[in-house]
Amino acid sequence: MGHDESPTARALLTLELLQSSPGITAERLGERLRVTERAARRYVAILREAGIPVESERGPYGGYRLGRGMRTPLIFTTAEALGLVMALLDGHHDIADATGPVGSAVGKIGRVLPESLSQTVAAVRRTISAVPDQSAVSPDPDITTSLVQACDSRRRTTIAYTTENGNERKMVVDPWAVVVRHARWYLLCWSHTADARRVLRVDRMGAVDIEETSFVRPEIDPVTEVEEHLGEGWAYSVEVVFDAPFAQVDRYLPRVLGRLEPVDDGHCRLVGSTNSPEWYAQELARRAVPFRVVEGDEVRRCVAVLGQRLLDAAQRR
């Protein structure tokens, strides 16, 4: 909301600041409103007279915040509203479908926006289309919500899971984190059923039952754990040596290719596996450093085929 000299505009801006900056002091509120501290307190009093519960705390760390349970209108700038719609489009959600959860939510947001801003958002929905991600699979929102709650409360969970082979099974897990990677949703967990760490596809879960038993989550980086796990246990093992320092290669190498470890100051080793040697060879070729496939006949063959194809393409006819 832009600056306006009218008392009504300043009162609305006060409400916006209380929403976006809980604990804001009267001094800071006055700076943002471009008024004195005394005047800022008067605008807080106006909100209270209008029935809006504004709580205050005294002391060096005190300030103003809205009371719990307060329902206030959503206040967006143009950049915020369009940024939200663009993020949904970038995630390849079908926001044009008003009956779907995403389209319905965007519709509700549009109805509470000022008319000029609502028209801009509607125009974006009408005129911009995102290319659908063929590999993206949307999990059930209720199941995803339950998993997030189980992760947050550190509660053991029983899930109904369909494996890659189509077999259905019950699994008892300690849910560590939900990770979204390349439009796919994964649950990183410790499986008591398998007595091992597991990364499970959320879209393959049919039911989630949160138990009373709690657990302690290890100190981990969930994204790194998921990517490293996705590089393990596939049909074709591979070992690659890069003629470059570990730090140089590690910045650009996807974790899904496997585990990278230093050899010496000028070399590092990648140990991984894949179900698609052709794809693996292409990923290796994208790195701008020399490398050698020291183990993994299938990947070595695909690297040779790819190299010959590139040489043939470079020949002048």
When pLDDT is cut at 50, 70 and 90, the band that residue 294 belongs to is very high
Tens digits of residue pLDDT in 119-176 = 777 776 666 666 666 666 678 888 888 898 999 999 999 999 998 788 899 999 999 9
Overall size of the chain counted in residues: 317
pLDDT tens-digit readout, 26-62: 999 999 999 999 999 999 999 988 888 889 887 666 7
> Could you tell me which residue, 92 or 224, shows the higher pLDDT?
224
Residue indicated by tokens 């949703």: 185
Mean per-residue pLDDT, 7-15: 87
CA distance 280 to 257: 7
> Could you tell me what percentage of the chain is helix, strand and coil, using 3-state DSSP and rounding each to the nearest 5?
40, 25, 35
Q: CA-to-CA distance for 279 and 306, rounded, in angstroms? A: 10
pLDDT number for residue 6: 80
Please tell me the predicted confidence (pLDDT) of residue 129.
Answer: 61
Residue 83: pLDDT over 60:
yes
**What does the pLDDT read at residue 70?**
61
* Residue that is written with structure tokens 């915020």 in the block: 80
Q: Which pTM was predicted? A: 0.57
- Local structure of 98: helix, strand or coil: coil
